Structure 1
Amino acid sequence: MKEIISLKINELQQEFYEISKFIGENPELGHEEVKACKVLTETLEKHGFSITVGTCGLPTAFTAVYDSGKPGPSIGFMAEYDALPDLGHACGHNLIGTMGIAAGIGLSSVVHECGGKVYVYGTPAEETRGGKVTMAETGVLDHLDVALMVHPYYCHQRSGTSLAMDAIQFEFFGKAAHAAAAPHEGINALDAVIQTFNGINALRQHVKSDVRIHGIIPEGGKAANIVPDYAIAQFYVRAGSRSYVNEVAKKVKACAEAAALATGARLEVSNYEFSYDDMVTNEELSRAFTGNLIALGVNPKEIYDDEGDHGSLDMGNVSQVVPSIHPYIQICSEFYACHTHEFREAAMSEQGREAMILGAKAMALTGYDILTNPELLEKVKKEFQKNK
């Protein structure tokens, strides 16, 4: 059966190449991925999947299901396809989206024999307001037995962790005045922003080493001779666990509150993007995936442990509600960091496309293991319940 899955993916390899190329050449920002959603869903529908577009009220999200008509587990593959501003698919989401549908189509070729259901979820806007967050929160994924996705990288890496994250916005409202003639009549909102940065910089020495706090000033005034009456600071607050992000975020907010008190500005606090939870890898599922990767020809010495340097993922939210993995597949021979021009080119290369097929096969074969090995599924579920 596993050979049939691989042969099916090989048979459609050129089609998958063209899809990843099309998405790569037509980058769309989060929740604007109309072309990508269309090509992915049309391909799945052509191969027998039932399609629903607009999952959770998100226009470019979709749910695709292939039902064997027989009882069995439900396997979920996650597809991402949003691009980055200016950089396009510099995180390789053109490969991730195509890998997700390729794995789903490959596994669907044998599901009538072993029973169960194959799902592919189109999850928009991973880079900002991740669709997986909404899906996890609303219970859309609760029926899945496992959820899998593979991310491109400069080497093969086992599924590991990610940083939980809050995206916090501070808006300061002051009072405009002539900065030379009547500065005493003004309340400087920009000063409040600068004091917030200073407070956070002082805070850094009193947090754990896994914490990352980084911010920008999107709005800081209009002219140097006017006391700024409005200013904005936006920060990402990250840490290795959701509980510690919550703790650090309180301290970060206290820095902004102190700045408002010191300057006399009024403060409003909000979240400008969704919060991401930390990734909790299901090790039983991860071992199964790694075993299939090795069976497909990857040298086990070239599969590395997670280094814990992958930032934040909305797949983390999925891993809180469904046993999940998020391993990495090698798409280039040189070290290229994600979110760079070089990584974008690697994601459009022949090596990138070949890695995409490898990742799709490994996911599909792991899905097959879950469908046909009740003992493995039981271990996966026990581990998930223990971690939960």
Structure 2
Amino acid sequence: MGAVSFKGMRLVRVAALVAAVFPALVWADEQALLAAIDAKSGAVKEVSQKIFEFRELGQQEFKSSQLVMDELRKLGFKVEGNLKVPEDLVKGGIARTAFRAELAGKGPGPTVTVMLEYDALPNGHSCGHNLISGSGLLAVAGLAEVMKDLPGRLLVIGTPDEERGSLGGGKIALLEGKHFDGSDVVLITHPGSTWSVDKPLLAMKRATFVFKGKAAHAAAAPEQGINALDAAIQTFNGINALRQHLRQDVRIHGIIKKGGDAVNVVPALAEVEFAARALDTPTMLDAYGKLINAAKAAAMAAGATMEYTPPRTALLSPVMVPEYLALVRKNIRQAGVPAGEVINDPAPLGSSDLGNVGHAYPTVNIMFKVAPEKVALHEDAMLNYTVPSAGWPATVQAAKAMALTAHDLLNDPALTKRIVDKFKAMKASEGK
């Protein structure tokens, strides 16, 4: 009895020792990670500044992507550019400004993927993608210093052309090209006027309807004409009649692109373009079906014909896992963001090809505050805050939050699996 008791006591002591030492080791590893980020901050800031100055539009980000690839190679990543993608999404079937980089840890484990964006708008980096690539590069630069002690692997994917994401040449093409394959969880950042981790992205699908009728003199023989513009207008009326019966997050909005050539001629051709959006993909697709039916009914009522070609791509909505969001919020605090900052108030609604990634893998987008609340993304005034000399302190905090989150996920495969399993369950019940 005494021997068994002694053995049991020894096991308890060993367990207690491991429990005491392991958190200390993790804490030391995290401190090394944060120190590495601080040490590399200046060099990565220069990279972000160059991207700010390059101001390259989508699918033209050759200098920006090459610069980031060169930096990743210096960090020890195996980098592949000129990624193969579907030819109907990117001309030639090669994403020439995208890349995929990989760094392995000490053995098998989770795969954490970090996305970088670097395309600009016509007025420059008023959406701050130079800070997205800057924060992501800084995060993985820090992680590269500790990956030898972590299981799993780190993927970095350069995703071009976010601003024209609905065309499919950015993240959608890379998803279809299987360049995200193997990812367990995904992280990205985005500058703005508040801290947030649960920014909703609306699923969106476009529709262009061409109505064809018959021209006639609008005064002398209107009875001989078939008014295509009437069909276009009735489409709007049909949608407006449906709005009472659509969920509050559904948006259906459209424009008349062509409505006739002369006021005294019955319009023989009219063209309208719509977009349907909703917070989840099934609800969006349901609204989209109603939109198509409204156009068909309008054409029938006017006696016109309607031509419609389904679009090749649609933007999907992300499926956000509460435990994953909570983990990132905790790490935002650890990165030094004051308790008074709001980090759970969703930003205004919008759509992005980021949603397609978030519909395929558990994804968190860390929105970080670089500008006052009254300054909006894409306006000229935002350029005063996305320039690294102004926006870098918050960029560093976002990089630390991302790196700490990746560290947690790599260091705890059970946590990562729990997030992945919850994501799959939530996606299976989406829209129900």
Same fold? TM cut 0.5: yes
Greater shift in the superposed pair: 280-289 or 187-196: 187-196
Aligned with 2:119 (options 82, 102, 108): 82
Aligned-partner residue type, residue 96 of structure 1: I
- Map of 1:141-290 to 2, 5 A cutoff? 141-177=180-216, 183-224=222-263, 226-272=265-311, 274-290=313-329
Q: Secondary structure at the match of 1:149?
A: strand
Call closer, same or farther: CA 1:218–1:36 in 2, change over 3 Å: farther
Question: Which consecutive residues of structure 2, in runs of 5 or more, have no partner in the other structure?
Answer: 1-28, 86-93, 428-432
Call closer, same or farther: CA 1:285–1:227 in 2, change over 3 Å: same
Whole-angstrom CA distance in 1 between matches of 2:185 and 2:301 = 51
1:98 aligns with 2:134: yes
Shift of 1:363: 0.6
Whole-angstrom CA distance in 2 between matches of 1:58 and 1:107 = 27
Highest CA radius of gyration, 1 or 2? 2
Call closer, same or farther: CA 1:349–1:13 in 2, change over 3 Å: closer
For residue 115 of structure 1, what is the aligned residue in structure 2? 151
1:51 aligns with 2:88: no
Q: Secondary structure at the match of 2:316?
A: coil
Check the 8 A contact 1:5/1:109 in 2, yes or no: yes
**Percent identity, aligned pairs only?**
39
Q: Secondary structure at the match of 1:195?
A: helix
Shift of 1:349: 5.5
Question: Which consecutive residues of structure 1, in runs of 5 or more, have no partner in the other structure?
Answer: none
- Map of 1:306-345 to 2, 5 A cutoff? 306-307=345-346, 309-345=348-384
Check the 8 A contact 1:289/1:362 in 2, yes or no: yes
For residue 386 of structure 1, what is the aligned residue in structure 2? 425
1:297-333: CA deviation from partner (whole Å, max 9, x where unpaired)? 1123313323363312322222232222123111113
Greater shift in the superposed pair: 242-251 or 41-50: 41-50
Q: Secondary structure at the match of 2:51?
A: helix
For residue 105 of structure 2, what is the aligned residue in structure 1? 68
- The alignment yields a C-alpha RMSD, in angstroms, of 2.6
1:353 aligns with 2:389: no
For residue 25 of structure 1, what is the aligned residue in structure 2? 53
Instruction: Report the TM-score, using the length of structure 2 for normalisation.
Output: 0.81
1:153-184: CA deviation from partner (whole Å, max 9, x where unpaired)? 21111325322111222222344455566655
Q: Secondary structure at the match of 1:61?
A: strand
Whole-angstrom CA distance in 2 between matches of 1:22 and 1:176 = 56
Q: Secondary structure at the match of 2:377?
A: coil
Call closer, same or farther: CA 1:87–1:187 in 2, change over 3 Å: farther
Whole-angstrom CA distance in 1 between matches of 2:259 and 2:383 = 32
Whole-angstrom CA distance in 2 between matches of 1:88 and 1:222 = 37
Call closer, same or farther: CA 1:184–1:45 in 2, change over 3 Å: farther
Call closer, same or farther: CA 1:385–1:203 in 2, change over 3 Å: closer
Shift of 1:245: 0.8
For residue 10 of structure 1, what is the aligned residue in structure 2? 38
Instruction: Report the TM-score, using the length of structure 1 for normalisation.
Output: 0.89
Aligned-partner residue type, residue 60 of structure 1: T
